[in-house]
Structure 1
Amino acid sequence: MRVLVLGAENSMGQALLSQAAAEFIRLEAVERPEQGWQPDMADQLLNGAKPDLILNLAFYREQFQLGLQDAQTLEAQRAFEERLIEGCAARQTPLMMLSSARVFDGRKSSAYTEKDEESPAGALGQLQLDLERLLRDRCPQHVILRFSWLLDACPDGPLGQLVDQLKSTRLITLAEEWRGNPTPVADAARVILSVLKQIDCAAPLWGTYHYGSSEATTWIGFVQYVMQELIGSGQLQADVAIEPAPFETLPALGGRPRNAALLARQLMMVFGIKQRSWRVQMPELLEQLSR
């Protein structure tokens, strides 16, 4: 199967390509052009490469690491991805895309399943939901993978910003009861590659699936874990004091669901992909960030 990976230059694309190469699996990489992802490029890729499947990671960094919700960025993403979906529909080319827990409002007390009703709390979540619906409507052969908190070693991503904060302050304000599944980018890439391998075996496993590394935790609990890892590696001298604050009072969290925990049971039942513990994976990710 000829798989075209859009956004091969970002950390998700790099993690996926690295794991695929280790298994002698060839994926065709397309990096972001200098002018950005323009709508007409979707047609050019489909006409020129004639792929058997497209994996769309084009806006991974904007969506999952920076969480950009300004109108210009969202419109650029919408224009490109809508053209890509329509092009795949016209050519009957399967399309795999990433989405997130942002499609939910976060009011549920337990982890979200694929059957829960979507109700985004912000503009980025609404865009993700709009693209999900368009993909389902136009392309019967599709896979939507929703992730919780995706973490990579980019300095300006959520984990990089957190580590910088911990190293530069003695008091940090964090949201109370903000829950999710911390998911290292390498674990997410493992899941994507596992799905691709089974689709390559002609398994008709199209649909929407959730994944997050086990187990769900609060952001405060995650930060406490990161602090101890940094102290243990000598990057931090002592604990940083945490001041809890109501979730709604922190503007930086606008548009994010208070509860971003996702249940990965359906992915395991359909694909046999088991969750991995984020605690086991975090030391390596923190080491990458410190280089």
Structure 2
Amino acid sequence: MNTILVTGANGQLGTELRRHAWPDGWGVHAVDIEDLDLSDTAAIQALVASRPWAAVVNGAAYTAVDKAEDDLVTAWAVNALAPAAFAKACRAADIPLVQVSTDYVFDGTNAGGWATDDAVRPLNVYGASKLGGELAVRTGCPRHAIVRTSWVVSPHGHNFIRTMLRLGAERERLTVVDDQYGAPTSAADLAAALATIAMRMADDATLAGTWHFTNAGETTWAGFARAIFASAQRHGGPSPEVAGITTADYPVPATRPAHSRLSHDTLVRDFCIQPRDWRVALDDIIDELLGAPA
């Protein structure tokens, strides 16, 4: 059995990696915070050395973007120092490390979509800490894949879809930011892409690089909210009015990039992965959350 070590077992991505339909001969061993303290570099190295893993997928992260502005030490420990420890351990074991990163490493000034080799310039502590993790992995482990994504959603955990459905059931009118652009990403679709990448890298020791995966298309947060309620209405779900507002109308501690769309060109070229439209992925998530359409 080829076993892939996965971190963040109970998060959105970890849940979908555990649920993924792995081919015969492949499987995952997933750990979460109760199994592994990501601030303990010795524990990370011991876990990687404990078994002959086929690969490691580091999906764990400190994702509280606004809280990170004041909690720098924890954000950097989890998002940068832990990947550095994984990189060192994976290099010693000669196995690939797949590090999940974020659109927030960019400054949001490119409205045309970010390529993998575009200049990075994070605007907040979270983005900077994730970029630190990228640099640690890129320099510390020759067999690496850095996979950037954005706006991850699923039927599980805390995410924008679940928040909108909860608020939509409580209120007749919602105000949502309408001048930040990006691509929603199904955690299940991201998990499938990471599985493909990890298995390929386990079989090809020469493969390494940075790739982007999101669902296809783009929208704003307000456009995403409207699409959520349109999909939910198929089930008799809530249908509040969604009023678009500007970023300036909704001040938060961490600055967000205005444009977060990520180019899939190298992903398609290297892995033949064609992301599906975010609206199709959204319908699948709503169906799982709300049951069979009414």
TM more than 0.5 = yes
The residue number in structure 2 matching 1:144 is: 146
The residue number in structure 2 matching 1:175 is: 177
Deviates more, 1:49-58 or 1:16-25: 16-25
Shift of residue 53 of structure 1?
2.0
What one-letter code is carried by the residue in structure 1 that aligns with 2:16? A
Please state if 1:205 is matched with 2:207: yes
Please state if 1:189 is matched with 2:191: yes
Please state if 1:153 is matched with 2:159: no
| SS of structure 2 residue aligned to 1:3 | strand
**Aligned with residue 48 of structure 1, among 47, 50, 53:** 50
Measured in 2, the distance between the counterparts of 1:53 and 1:213 equals 24
Distance 1:191 1:253, change over 3 A: farther
The residue number in structure 2 matching 1:217 is: 219
- CA contact 1:123–1:255 (8 Å) conserved in 2: no
Deviates more, 1:185-194 or 1:4-13: 4-13
The residue number in structure 1 matching 2:28 is: 27
Shift of residue 164 of structure 1?
1.2
Give the percent of matched residue pairs that are identical in Structure 1 and Structure 2: 24
Deviates more, 1:225-234 or 1:89-98: 89-98
What one-letter code is carried by the residue in structure 2 that aligns with 1:7? G
Measured in 2, the distance between the counterparts of 1:86 and 1:155 equals 31
Please state if 1:6 is matched with 2:11: no
- CA contact 1:88–1:94 (8 Å) conserved in 2: yes
Measured in 1, the distance between the counterparts of 2:116 and 2:212 equals 7
Shift of residue 90 of structure 1?
3.9
Shift of residue 261 of structure 1?
0.7
The residue number in structure 2 matching 1:97 is: 99
CA RMSD of aligned residues (A): 2.2
In structure 1, the gaps of 5 or more residues are: none
- CA contact 1:155–1:161 (8 Å) conserved in 2: no
| SS of structure 1 residue aligned to 2:243 | strand
Please state if 1:267 is matched with 2:270: no
| SS of structure 1 residue aligned to 2:201 | helix
Distance 1:179 1:23, change over 3 A: farther
Measured in 2, the distance between the counterparts of 1:115 and 1:96 equals 18
The residue number in structure 2 matching 1:281 is: 281
Aligned residue pairs: how many? 285
Measured in 1, the distance between the counterparts of 2:151 and 2:284 equals 17
Measured in 1, the distance between the counterparts of 2:52 and 2:196 equals 23
Measured in 2, the distance between the counterparts of 1:262 and 1:180 equals 8
| SS of structure 1 residue aligned to 2:6 | strand
- CA contact 2:99–2:137 (8 Å) conserved in 1: no
In structure 2, the gaps of 5 or more residues are: none
Listed one character per residue, the Cα deviations across residues 226-262 of structure 1 (whole Å, up to 9, x for unaligned) are 11112221121xx422332222342348332111111
**Structure-1-length-normalised TM-score:** 0.89
Listed one character per residue, the Cα deviations across residues 158-199 of structure 1 (whole Å, up to 9, x for unaligned) are 221122122211221221221111111111011111112322
Shift of residue 151 of structure 1?
0.6
Shift of residue 203 of structure 1?
6.2
